[in-house]
Amino acid sequence: MDAAKDFVGGTVAGITGVLVGQPFDVMRIRAQTLWVQRQGTVLLHAMQMLRTEGVFSLFKGVVPPMAGVGFQNAVLFFAYGTAVRAITPGGKVDEASLAMVTIAGSIGGFACAFVTGPVELFKVRQQVNEKKIGLRTVSLVKNMVAVDGFSGLYRGLTATLVRDVPSYGSYFWSYELIRRLYADRFGCSLAEVPGFVDFLAGGVAGCLSWTIIYPIDVVKSRLQMQGEGSVREGFFHCAKRIYSTQGWRVFGKGLGLTVARAFPVNATIFYFHGSTVKILSLLQESYLSLKVGTG
């Protein structure tokens, strides 16, 4: 039952996180790709985008994450929860060490990368489209499959795995560290940690994990924006090419915007995941009590 709660909680958390972060995400992808060789700040390019493409340009590519990120976060929290219960003596999550939390987070990152890869591929292709009329997701998928086959949907998968395994390890580690520091300071159990702490811990965890893996994300975005039918480039070859042509600074292009996005998005994700799990637990307890009472 705990795994089912994690799955449902992850779905709700993913959808709310997308709605909060999509405008930041559009600008992040463009900062990593289209705006790199143009003069001016990210803010200047964003203003130009709004003038030429309209306000809805901030929500380009929202369909793939709305459809996929809910499932992606469901897989992430399901895999993380299952892993941490499996490696913790007695299966008690609150008794897991931070090392166990990190390992379980990395396992969760590995599992969800197979969902994240295609979802972010569609999103990147739509977000780098500078035409006022966006690319339809269905047409985009059909064209990818027609040209590259189904394997084309996993372009950039290696980069996604290289990014997500360490990213989610640090993500859950920092989240749990903050919750445990609060619990120790105020003498409460982890189950009694209030929602605002989940919110703050989630925001900090998102900022930290993105900062650690951001250069990898730049390479992933470049690999995924390459058109159908193009020769597939390896992760290290792409990174070397970017460095040799544009220098090391490009690996931090858009980082400030990404961190600014990471706090509200991940704070929202952890808050809604925790709240959903608590509500489901209360409903389960009420149902069992009612069942016992009528039995």
pLDDT in tens, the chain (295 residues): 788 889 999 988 988 888 787 777 777 777 766 665 666 665 666 777 777 777 667 666 666 666 677 888 999 999 999 999 999 988 888 889 999 999 999 999 999 999 988 888 887 777 666 555 555 667 777 877 887 788 778 888 899 999 999 999 999 999 999 999 999 999 999 988 999 999 999 999 999 999 999 999 999 988 887 766 566 788 899 999 999 998 888 898 878 888 988 999 999 999 999 999 889 988 888 877 777 666 5
Select the CATH number that applies to the domain covering 2-287 from these four: 2.40.480.10, 3.90.1150.10, 1.10.579.10, 1.50.40.10.
1.50.40.10
DSSP the chain: -HHHHHHHHHHHHHHHHHHHHHHHHHHHHHHHTTTTTSSS-HHHHHHHHHHHH-GGGGGTT-HHHHHHHHHHHHHHHHHHHHHHHHHSGGG-GGG--HHHHHHHHHHHHHHHHHHHHHHHHHHHHHHT--SSSPPPHHHHHHHHHHHH-GGGGGTTHHHHHHHHHHHHHHHHHHHHHHHHHHHHHHT--GGG--HHHHHHHHHHHHHHHHHHHHHHHHHHHHHHHSPTTSPPPPHHHHHHHHHHHH-GGGGGTTHHHHHHHHHHHHHHHHHHHHHHHHHHHHHHHHHHHHHHHH-
pTM above 0.85, yes or no: no
